Amino acid sequence: MNNQVLTYARVIIPLGLHVLFFQYAAFAAGWWFIGLHLLGLLLMPLQSSPLLLLLVAAGFGSIVDAATFEGGLFMSSAVLMALATPAINRLLAPREGYEVTDQPTLSSMGVQWFAIRCLLLLTIHHLWMFGLEAGRWDLIPRAIGKALTSSFLSTGAFVLILLLTRRQRSAR
Amino acid sequence: MRNLWNLLVQYHIALVFVIFQGIALTWFVGSHGYPRGKWVQRSLEWQGEWDQRISQWDRLTELDDLNRELLAENATLRAELHTARGDGIQSNYQGAEVIRSTWSSASNQLVLNKGTAQGVQPGQGLLQNNRVVGRVVEASTNYALALPLINASVEWSVRIGSTGPVARLAWEGGDVTRAMVYDVPRSATFGAGDSILTSGFQGYFPSGLLIGTVADEAPEFDGQFLNVPVDLAADFRSIRYVQIASPQGQSEIEGLTNTNDQQSP
């Protein structure tokens, strides 16, 4: 498959799966929310401009909001995550910087890099989302607990999904 | 002007972020809890159709048909029971299937497979085996959106026992089996296990329907009032079929209320 098509597919397919099948995928009495559309945002190319990240995040968030009647909750959280993405990318950049061919995937950057980046960005997203959803100060400790639990478990799930779906290199 | 343009170009990312956050938060504040408007209806229609298709995949057809028949029969019998009892406000009932239900957030909701085409209107109450579940807030042609008791943004008028004081019930989030009745006079006498019933004042339900029972836990003191913990009767985790109650004479009562409002000085 053409690499560019693959890049678009990696971003779009998780959103499609989330909207059609997993929009209420919350487990452990709501303590684990898995937002598959976030995997699409995490897999946006490393060279994407901050403006493009914000636009795509706003689009993804609003689509999920429209599908789940959450009215701006996912859009707001996704936009915040997109704003933080370039900073996190710089923080985790190799000493010599990213190669042009580097992709934010397990096969390109390794499990450790992907897991740390995923955990940091999901934590930012989930803290904002659960905090907004709580809506009351007395529910904030619970929201933080949910955000951290969801971030850790979703990171594990995303790593697993990418491990199971990564392309095998053809033998020469 | 040129300086302003340069400033905008320099901080365009921050500006775009603020604009998107503004849109998202306005949307969130404006629609959370009580979604309104055409787009909600369209979205509800589309989602309802999709969810119904998904749920059809794993449906056991024979059991499902049997359930529907029982539900319709139950609705008819319940309406007859109210007539036979001579209740002040009679209600019509019809069965509906819950095709989507959430219970893990603070603003939980239910989507039903019946809409305005079947006579469902906002403001009608929902029951599960004669236990109060929630009320309809939005209806499209074939689907309806309802807010259950376990939605932190809604309050319900309740009575403790059949002759006790009227108070307000609200869910505080978290445990879906537990809610709180506020503003109970300290003089009220009640005990653990006493019924919490609908007062009928809000017009969603007839009076006397079971909402829950007083929990075996000490009430909280709040000035001249008590806050009483309640075990909810409906099981929100396993909900699948509900009955929609439409009390008769609501439009007449609302007409009277509106007339009175207009005549007030």
Per-residue pLDDT of chain A (172 residues; tens, 9 = 90+): 567 777 788 888 888 888 888 777 777 777 888 888 899 999 998 888 999 999 999 999 999 988 887 788 899 999 999 999 999 999 998 888 888 888 888 888 889 999 999 999 999 999 999 988 887 778 889 999 999 999 999 999 999 998 888 765 544 4
* Pair B149, B158: CB distance under 8 Å: no
Q: Compute the Cα dihedral for B247, B167, B152, A21 and give only its sign.
A: negative
Q: Which amino acid is at B249?
A: G
pLDDT, residue B39, reads 60
* Pair A152, A119: CB distance under 8 Å: yes
Q: How far apart are CA A85 and CA A64, in angstroms?
A: 20
pLDDT, residue A88, reads 93
* Residues of A within an 8 Å Cβ radius of B: 20-21, 24, 26, 29-30, 50-51, 54-55, 57-58, 61-62, 65-67, 69-73, 75-76, 79-80, 83, 132-136, 139, 142
Other beta carbons within 10 angstroms of residue B249's beta carbon come to 14
pLDDT, residue A1, reads 54
Q: How far apart are CA B143 and CA B244, in angstroms?
A: 13
Maximal C-alpha separation, chain A? 60
Q: Among all residues of chain B, which has the CA nearest to that of A59?
A: B20
CB contact under 8 A, B13 and A58: no
* Pair A147, A126: CB distance under 8 Å: yes
Q: Give yes or no for B18 touching A (CB within 8 A).
A: no
| Local structure of B225: helix, strand or coil | strand
Helix A73-91 and helix B12-31, axial crossing angle in degrees, nearest 10:
150
Torsion of CA A23, A27, A32, A38, to 10 degrees: -20
Helix B12-31 and helix B2-10, axial crossing angle in degrees, nearest 10:
70
What is the mean pLDDT for each group of 10 consecutive residues in chain B (265 residues)? 79 91 85 57 78 72 72 74 64 84 86 90 87 92 92 90 88 89 87 88 82 88 88 88 79 70 52
Q: How far apart are CA B167 and CA A140, in angstroms?
A: 28
pLDDT, residue A171, reads 44
* Pair B148, B133: CB distance under 8 Å: yes
| Mutation for testing the A interface, residue in B8, B46, B105 having most A CBs under 10 Å | B105
Maximal C-alpha separation, chain B? 81
pLDDT, residue B35, reads 42
Contacts of B109 in chain A (CB under 8 A): 69
* Pair B126, B242: CB distance under 8 Å: yes
pLDDT, residue B55, reads 75
* Pair A142, A134: CB distance under 8 Å: yes
B43 min Cα distance to partner chain A (Å):
7
Name every residue whose Cβ is closer than 8 Å to that of residue B67 and which is 6 or more positions away in sequence: B241
* Lookup: tokens for B166: 């009227």
Compute CA distances A102 → A45, A78, A166, B166, whole Å.
8, 23, 15, 66
CB contact under 8 A, A139 and B106: yes
Distance, first Cα to last Cα, chain A: 18
